[in-house]
């Protein structure tokens, strides 16, 4: 078995364990994948805010059907990257720890 032994090449010795194709642990990291994922998520969230024209992340006053008024920071119940028109009505929102859907909202006014 050659595992753990080194091989001589024209340029330098190579460890057999480092040649495993699925997990190349010896390769240097060129970019932080988590930071790239966070950046992509922020871009997607900004695009979402632009599309639905709601002040996500800001203090708002929301009126729901039935005369219910909520005040607080408007947030999504779940992270959403892509919105289709038929799903938008069912999109979950939260204000002041009270969950509701987009279709239940009569009005939303930004307070800050």
Q: What is the DSSP string of 59-91?
A: EEEEEETTTEEEEEEEEESS--S---HHHHTT-
pLDDT of amino acid 56: 86
What local confidence, expressed as pLDDT, does residue 68 receive? 95
Segments forming the whole domain that contains residue 32: 19-110
Number of domains in the chain: 1
**Number of alpha carbons in the 13 Å side-chain half-sphere of residue 9:** 8
Asked, for residue 14, whether it belongs to a domain, the answer is no
Q: Which two tokens stand for residue 94?
A: 């939260």
- CATH number, domain of 69, equals 2.30.30
Task: Identify whether 9 is part of a domain.
Answer: no
Residue 47 lies in a domain: yes
What is residue 26's predicted lDDT score, i.e. its pLDDT?
61
- Residue 52 within a domain: yes
> Is 2 within a domain?
no
Question: Can you give the pLDDT of all 112 residues of the chain as single tens digits?
Answer: 445 555 555 555 555 555 555 666 566 565 677 888 878 877 777 777 777 788 988 999 999 999 999 999 998 888 766 666 667 778 889 999 999 998 999 999 999 8
Question: Looking at the domain assignment, is residue 103 inside a domain?
Answer: yes
Quickly list H helices, the chain. Answer: 33-52, 85-88
In a domain, 40, yes or no: yes
């Amino acid at each position: 078995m050659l595992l753990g032994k080194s091989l001589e090449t024209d340029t330098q010795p190579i460890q057999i364990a480092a040649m495993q194709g699925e997990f190349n642990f010896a390769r240097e990291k060129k970019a932080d994948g988590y930071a790239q994922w966070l950046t992509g998520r922020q871009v997607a969230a900004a695009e979402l805010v632009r599309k639905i024209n709601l002040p996500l992340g800001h203090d708002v006053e929301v009126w729901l059907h039935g005369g219910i008024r909520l005040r607080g920071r408007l947030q999504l119940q779940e992270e959403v990257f892509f919105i289709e028109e038929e799903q938008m009505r069912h999109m979950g929102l939260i204000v002041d720890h009270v969950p509701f859907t987009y279709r239940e909202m009569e009005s939303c006014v930004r307070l800050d």
